[in-house]
A and B are shown apart, each in its own frame.
Chain A
Amino acid sequence: MTWQLTTLDPRTKLIIVLCLSSLAVFCQNIYLLLLVLLLTLIVVKLTGGELGQLFSKFKKFIKVFLAVIVIQSIFTNEGQVLLQVMQIKLLTDVGLLRGLQTVLRFLIVIAAAVVMTTANSRDIIQGLIQWKVPYELAFMVTIAIRFLPLLQEEATDTLTALQLRGVNLKKIPILKRLRTYSYLLMPLLTSVLIKARDLSVAMEMRAFRAYPQRTSLRELHFARIDYFVIVLSMLLFQLLLWAALVLS
Chain B
Amino acid sequence: MSLPIEVKDLSFQYEEGAAKILRHLDLSVAKGEIVGIVGLSGIGKSTLCFCLSGIIPHVYGGIMEGEVLLNGQSSRELSLPTIATTLGLVFQNPDHQLFAFNVEDELAFGPENLCVPRAEIARRIEEVLAIVGMQDYRHANPQQLSGGQRQLIAVAAVLCLQPEILIFDEAMSQIDAEGRAKLKAVMLRLKDQGKTMVMIDHDLDNLQIADRVLVLKEGRLFPYTGSLS
Contacts and interface: CB of A to CB of B under 8 A. Distances in A.
Contact of B99 (A120, A142, A210): A142
Q: What is the interface of chain B mostly: helix, strand, loop, or mixed?
A: helix
Interface string A208-245: 11110111111100000000000000000000000000
Interface string A171-200: 000000000000000000000001100111
A165 interface: no
Interface string A141-173: 011001100100000000000000000000000
Interface size class of A (residues with CB under 8 A): 20 to 34
B102 interface: yes
Interface string B67-98: 00000000000011101110011010101110
Contact of A215 (B55, B80, B117): B117
Nearest to A122: B101
Contact of A205 (B53, B104, B105, B121): B53
Interface of A: 120-122, 142-143, 146-147, 150, 194-195, 198-211, 213-219
B81 A210 contact: yes
A122 B102 contact: yes
What are the nearest 7 A-B pairs in CB distance?
A210-B81, A198-B96, A202-B97, A206-B110, A217-B108, A207-B113, A207-B81
Q: Give the residue among A195, A199, A215 with the most B Cβ atoms within 10 A.
A: A215
28 contacts: A122-B102, A142-B99, A142-B100, A146-B99, A150-B95, A198-B93, A202-B96, A203-B99, A204-B58, A205-B53, A206-B84, A206-B161, A207-B80, A207-B81, A207-B161, A208-B109, A208-B113, A209-B81, A209-B113, A210-B84, A211-B114, A211-B115, A213-B115, A214-B113, A215-B118, A215-B121, A216-B118, A219-B118
B110 A198 contact: no
Contacts of B102: 122
A205 to B, nearest CB: 5
A85 B115 CA distance: 69
Nearest to A212: B115
A147 B97 CA distance: 12
B143 to A, nearest CB: 8
B140 to A, nearest CB: 13
Contacts of A195: 95-96
Contacts of A211: 81, 113-115
Interface of B: 53, 55, 58-59, 79-81, 83-85, 88-89, 91, 93, 95-97, 99-102, 104-105, 108-118, 121-122, 125, 143, 157-158, 161
A217 B118 contact: yes
Given A202-B91, A207-B85, A122 B105 contact: yes
Contacts of B58: 204
B89 A205 contact: yes
Contact of B115 (A199, A200, A206, A214): A214
Nearest to A195: B96
A198 B112 contact: no
Given A199-B96, A199-B99, A206 B85 contact: no
A201 B143 CA distance: 20
A176 B81 CA distance: 49
B99 A143 contact: yes
A215 B113 CA distance: 7
Nearest to B120: A215
Given A211-B114, A217-B121, A217-B122, 10 more contacts: A143-B99, A198-B91, A201-B55, A203-B99, A207-B84, A207-B85, A207-B110, A211-B115, A213-B115, A217-B112
